[in-house]
């Protein structure tokens, strides 16, 4: 089903931020089926549990994509499926969200641990701070943060905390190296959560994949630049998906 793209959302924000991009993609290609799949509702931080849930829900032989955490999970699922996945698209999705000895282009561990502690103690105010980080670098960051907050689904703090812990544990570099299908990874130049330098680091790791950077854009560039993103994705799908 090379005419079908399934997109996974980021942590806590639900499917709404992906809807403008999906609409833009459909406008460019009437034959492309674009669907947004909510992340699993789990209290587990074990990646295998999340992948099992997604693998049992999503159809085989489609393009997989996602924003931030959704892109990391799509990467792992693409590697698990191998030839049963047409290709991979990730958006503002760092292969490792937190710094590692061999991956410094990420959020410092101390910052991330403080964020987890803050969320455990005060989930509402910490989630509001997260929305501000998502919109940092936007033309109107506070308005964009309010838009994200207003559309975010109500979720149990335990579920959100599990997803947050998963985000800190994931390192999808082995998955990206394992998956032999076409890959497109797009980063945002003014991202407050994923350093723009991650784009160059990923290209150095995987020189044969497509890596793009939208310079003047924040982490929530799905809402800032949906048409620019859609154009890049459409070119990728047609150039590499119809071989």
Per-residue model confidence (pLDDT) at position 8: 98
Domain membership of residue 178 as a residue range: 4-241
The verdict on whether 191 is a catalytic residue reads yes
Query: For residue 133, what is the domain's CATH number?
Result: 3.40.50.1820
Per-residue model confidence (pLDDT) at position 2: 74
- Identify the CA nearest to 233 among candidates 71, 11, 62, 28: 28
Per-residue model confidence (pLDDT) at position 243: 45
Residue 84, classified by CB atoms within 10 Å of its CB into exposed (0-12), middle (13-18) or buried (19+), is middle
117, 219, 238, 243: which is the annotated catalytic residue?
219
CA atoms of 5 and 161, how far apart (whole Å): 28
- Identify the CA nearest to 184 among candidates 109, 86, 108: 86
Annotate 43-103 with three-state secondary structure.
CCCCHHHHHHHHHHHCCCCEEEEEECHHHHHHHHHHHHHHHHEEEEEEECCCCECECECCE
> DSSP class of residue 219?
T
Residue 235 main-chain phi, psi, to 5 deg: -60, -45
44, 52, 191, 227: which is the annotated catalytic residue?
191
The verdict on whether 219 is a catalytic residue reads yes
68, 75, 93, 96: which is the annotated catalytic residue?
68
Does 242 have pLDDT greater than 70? no
Mean pLDDT of the chain: 95
Per-residue model confidence (pLDDT) at position 187: 98
Number of domains in the chain: 1
Confidence at 147, pLDDT banded by 50, 70, 90:
very high
CA atoms of 124 and 202, how far apart (whole Å): 33
Does 11 have pLDDT greater than 80? yes
Does 235 have pLDDT greater than 70? yes
Which H helix or E strand runs over 150?
helix 141-151
Q: What is the mean pLDDT of the segment spanning 197-216? A: 96
Q: What tens digit of pLDDT does each residue of 62-110 get?
A: 999 999 999 999 999 999 999 999 999 999 999 999 999 999 999 999 9
The verdict on whether 208 is a catalytic residue reads no
Per-residue model confidence (pLDDT) at position 240: 60
């Amino acid at each position: 089903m090379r005419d079908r793209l399934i997109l996974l959302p980021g942590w806590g924000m639900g499917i709404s931020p992906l809807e403008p991009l999906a609409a833009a993609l459909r406008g460019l290609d009437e034959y492309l089926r674009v669907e947004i799949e909510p992340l699993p509702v789990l209290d587990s931080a074990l990646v295998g549990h999340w992948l099992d849930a997604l693998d049992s829900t999503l159809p085989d032989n489609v393009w997989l994509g996602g924003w931030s955490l959704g892109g990391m999970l799509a990467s792992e699922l693409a590697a698990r499926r191998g030839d049963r996945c047409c290709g991979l698209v990730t958006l503002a999705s760092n292969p490792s969200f937190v710094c590692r000895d061999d991956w410094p282009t990420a959020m410092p561990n101390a910052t991330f641990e403080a964020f987890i502690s803050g969320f455990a103690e005060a989930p509402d105010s910490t989630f509001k701070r997260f929305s501000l980080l998502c919109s940092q670098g936007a033309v109107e960051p506070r308005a964009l943060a309010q838009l994200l907050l207003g559309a975010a689904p109500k979720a149990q703090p335990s579920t959100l905390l599990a997803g947050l812990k998963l985000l800190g544990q994931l390192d999808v570099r082995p998955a990206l190296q394992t998956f032999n299908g076409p890959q497109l990874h797009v980063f945002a130049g003014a991202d407050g959560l994923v350093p723009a330098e991650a784009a160059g680091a990923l290209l150095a790791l995987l020189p044969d994949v497509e890596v793009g950077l939208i310079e003047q854009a924040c982490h929530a560039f799905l809402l800032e630049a949906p048409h620019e993103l859609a154009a890049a994705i459409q070119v990728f799908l047609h150039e590499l998906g119809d071989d």
